Amino acid sequence: MTWRALRMAALLVVAVSTAGCTSFSYYAQAAHGQFSLLAQARPFDDWIADPNAKPGLKTKLQTVREIRRFAVDELGLPDNGSYKTYAQLDRPFVLWNVVAAPELSLKAHQWCFPVAGCVDYRGYYSQQAAQAYGAQLQQQGYDVQVVGVPAYSTLGWFNDPVISTFINYPDGELARLIFHELAHQTVYACDDTPFNEGFAVAVEEIGVDRWLAARHDDKLIEAYRRFDARKQDFLALLDKYRDKLEANYDSDAPDDAKRERKQQIFGELRAEYAQMKAQRWDGYAGYDRWFAMPLSNAHLALVGAYHDLVPAFKALFAQSSGFPDFYAKVKQLAQMDKAARHIALGDPLPAGEPGRRQRDRKTERTPL
């Protein structure tokens, strides 16, 4: 365990020991989940030499090695111990995030933590625990989504492993995910989810384009282009209905009328998704899981946080001499006041706003 890992462990112990009963339980499960994950991780060479490991897994680990080397050599991403070990889990996701928003707003509820600062979700290593907490929030009147997470970054505090929850992704999507998570280890601004995610998505998209070009594999490129085209269709669909919902919530209509219109809008979203799936995607069902539960504001609360600032970061990259220069500029932005950094990126949001469209409201925060 490195000095960073030791320091992080100490911070977790402090957080657990100084928290109240509810906080103690939460931080305890977080610490146990993180250290359990690290304990299950073994170096790639161990898995490749293991006669009981499946050949398909060994091939994927070799692919990750190539992706990892490309990330360092061509994208200037951290050359550390992350994504050089593999953990086989007995669950479909590494953790589950609880996302919440008020009944008549797309403002994401926030939770504040040591080190990571304030973020728009709260993670659990147990699906049951996440659902129980989500139920508590629903009783308080929030719209809630509990969503499975295949991977996350510890921001360089630990050597993040490759996990069974995403190892079987197609190669292009696997590269995209690894570039994204390594970007979080490169630059991170506390309390600014749109900045952090916009930067990481920009790095993943620029990185995957270069990685695909270097592979010279027409079949792989075509498969990823189809994946990306569907993703862009899906995001455009969500943006359209975010606008409709925000117009509804910002209107002068009575709350009962807003509630009724809200349900109509979500019904229209489902219908248009089904039409797009049948007519544009030839029945591709990769986003069906997103629609599996009743739709709510929580489903749309984080969409802008991941994508609204991507064009600004890509424009900044185009003005840079290369990745080192780009990262240096982003680090300078991260050191600025939140409002100032958003203005510098051409996003005139006041500090605390979760998305570009919500310009005159404050984000709710819970210090735990």
Arithmetic mean of pLDDT, 216-232: 95
Mean pLDDT score, 25-33: 90
Q: What is the pLDDT of residue 13?
A: 42
Segment 112-123 mean pLDDT: 84
Q: Residue 221 above 60 pLDDT?
A: yes
pLDDT at residue 348 in the model = 63
How many Cβ atoms are within 10 Å of 122's Cβ, its own excluded?
A: 22
For residue 349, the model assigns a pLDDT of 54
363 pLDDT band (50/70/90 cuts)?
very low
Please give the structure tokens belonging to residue 65. Answer: 């090695």
The range of the structural domain enclosing residue 212 comes to 3-366
pLDDT value, residue 20: 45
Q: pLDDT at residue 17 above 80?
A: no
Instruction: Please tell me the number of Cα atoms within 13 Å of 16 on its side-chain side.
Output: 14
For 279-309, how does the pLDDT look when each residue is reduced to its tens digit (9 = 90+)?
Answer: 999 999 999 999 988 999 999 998 878 888 9
Residue 358 has pLDDT above 90, yes or no: no
Pairing of strands 110-113, 365-366: parallel
Q: Which residue has the higher pLDDT, 16 or 270?
A: 270
Which pLDDT band holds residue 22 (cuts at 50, 70, 90)? low
pLDDT higher than threshold 60 for residue 4: no
Find the mean pLDDT for residues 86-91.
Answer: 97
Which one, of 151, 35, 30, lies nearest residue 83 by Cα?
151
Split into its structural domains, the chain has a count of: 1
Question: For residue 140, is pLDDT > 70?
Answer: yes
Average pLDDT for 295-324: 93
Residue 181 clears pLDDT 80, i.e. is over it: yes
Average pLDDT, the chain: 89
Q: What is the mean pLDDT of residues 24-49?
A: 93
Q: Give the count of beta carbons closer than 10 Å to the beta carbon of residue 101.
A: 25
The 3 state secondary structure assigned to the chain is: CCHHHHHHHHHHHHHHHHCCHHHHHHHHHHHHHHHHHHHHCEEHHHHHHCCCCCHHHHHHHHHHHHHHHHHHHCCCCCCCCCCCEEECCCCCCCEEEEEEECCCCCCCCEEEECCCEEECCEEECCHHHHHHHHHHHHHCCCEEEEEEECCCCCCCCCCCCEECCCCCCCHHHHHHHHHHHHHHHHCCCCCCHHHHHHHHHHHHHHHHHHHHHHHCCHHHHHHHHHHHHHHHHHHHHHHHHHHHHHHHHHCCCCHHHHHHHHHHHHHHHHHHHHHHHHHCCCCCCCCHHHHCCCCCHHHHCCHHHHHCCHHHHHHHHHCCCCHHHHHHHHHHHHCCCHHHHHHHCCCCCCCCCCCCCCCCCCCCEECC
User: Which residue bears the tokens 């629903």?
Assistant: 138
Counting residues of the chain whose pLDDT is more than 90, the rounded percentage is 79
pLDDT at residue 25 in the model: 86
Measured in degrees and rounded to the nearest 5, phi and psi for residue 102 equal -60, 165
